[in-house]
Structure 1
């Protein structure tokens, strides 16, 4: 599995390109995660460099800095066919107008007009083969938004940031897309519409007790971390484990 991290100028949101090992005799397929604004050339260049065919787009939640260019990226499917765009069901309503649910927070970059994807789908409960050779399990984790979730996987992994290899494991390891649920040393804010501080505490408590602490986390902002590191040092996780 190859994972590329590309950071957007739109609130420094992390977008990702995930490319599983292709089946024998087939071209590699890819998933683009959280296609933010301002990085279309980098996303396309990554797919082209990998010789990968876009097969799906995955949105960890519905905030505009994580979804803004999802329809444009989805149009890069084979023969310019729109690929499916997956999102946790409780956040699907946000894609009518994502900017309407962030209290008019300024984007601080110039945004193209919002376009809703044609083929928008709810990510199914439980495990799902999102594309060939990429199984992910959604763990609902509301608090930042109603549909916020972790997406759990287990595989060998090569991780690239700015084109440079930053982590590698030839053996299968647990890893997860943590969106804006949990960051290195912090968590997603809960004061925007749909946020709930109590739900966030419950989600963090559940994650810290139910998910393998060795799990490598790829958050929606900031550097990668591990769940164990957050259990040990993140004050929000410590508080959640103490009072729930």
Structure 2
């Protein structure tokens, strides 16, 4: 599997381009602030044709470029039902202070084609299968996407799980109780060998996080 990471200009958000091989179709995950032109460079470099944008959750640092990317390539955006309203009005997902960091006077339009995802759903895109795992806590509609290549299994965790940390739960729609349940029932059962592609920071594995992530340890010891 071809995996290219484009780190956004603001908030250090990871945008991923996934494809089964060079010269084929691809999927874009979480196109954040200022990534559209660099994504075009990735498409050209690897001769890729985007067929969809997957959104892990509706926060603006993960969705800022979704409409330009979808519009330029005439492709749909996929997001869990409980965060779909944030593609219509992203300000609902951020506090006033957070919105001020993004900038005032945001000229926002929703993508023309928004496909709503449900827990346990399977989406087949660009020759890859993505299983949707509803993982609330950071937002009500946060989702992880599980997929696999020939050599490894991958989970795109968005802002659910990072190397050594988890996503904050104090923004609108966040819930510490929901996050603890997500960590206990959705993250901890994952196989140790799964490669974690997080919304911010470097990649990791479930084994590494099980061993050192204090939030996972807290969740494991809660029951």
**What is the TM-score normalised by the length of structure 2?**
0.93
- Equivalent-residue separation in structure 2 for 1:128 and 1:208 (angstroms): 18
Q: How far apart, in 2, do the equivalents of 1:111 and 1:36 lie?
A: 17
Cα 1:197–1:66 change in 2 (3 A) is same
- Alpha-carbon displacement from aligned partner over 1:178-205 (angstroms, at most 9, x marks no partner): 0000000000000001000011011111
Indicate yes or no: 2:90 matched with 1:94: no
- Name the structure 1 match of 2:165: 186
Distance in 2 of aligned mates of 1:62 and 1:205: 23
- Whether 1:36 aligns to 2:32 is yes
Q: For 2:221 and 2:63, locate their aligned partners in 1 and report how far apart those are by CA, in whole Å.
A: 34
SS of equivalent residue, structure 1 residue 231: helix
After superposition, residues 84-163 of structure 1 pair within 5 angstroms as: 84-104=76-96, 105=98, 106-108=100-102, 113-156=107-150
Structure 2 vs 1, CA of residues 208 and 94 (structure 1 numbering), >3 Å: closer, same or farther? closer
Q: CA deviation at 1:126?
A: 2.7
RMSD of Structure 2 on Structure 1 (CA): 1.7
Superposition pairs for residues 1-244 of structure 1, below 5 Å? 1-21=1-21, 28-77=24-73, 82-104=74-96, 105=98, 106-108=100-102, 113-156=107-150, 172-243=151-222
Unpaired segments ≥5 residues, structure 2: none
Following TM superposition, the consecutive aligned residue runs of length 4 or more in structure 1 with deviations greater than 6 angstroms are none
How many residues are treated as equivalent by the alignment? 221
Alpha-carbon deviation of 1:108?
5.0
CA contact (8 A) 2:147 2:154 kept: yes
Query: Displacement, 1:132?
Result: 3.4
Could you give the per-residue CA deviations for residues 105-143 of structure 1, whole angstroms, max 9, x where no partner exists? 133568862221000011244352431311011111110
Unaligned runs of 5+ in 1: 157-171
- How far off its partner does 1:95 sit? 1.1
Cα distance in 1 between the residues matched to 2:91 and 2:200: 18
Given that 2:118 and 2:134 are in contact with CA atoms closer than 8 Å, whether structure 1 keeps it comes out as no
What is the alpha-carbon distance in structure 1 between the residues aligned to residue 124 and residue 53 of structure 2?
Answer: 9
Contact 1:85 1:119 (C-alpha < 8 Å) held by counterparts: yes
Q: In terms of mean alpha carbon deviation, does 54-63 or 115-124 score higher? A: 115-124
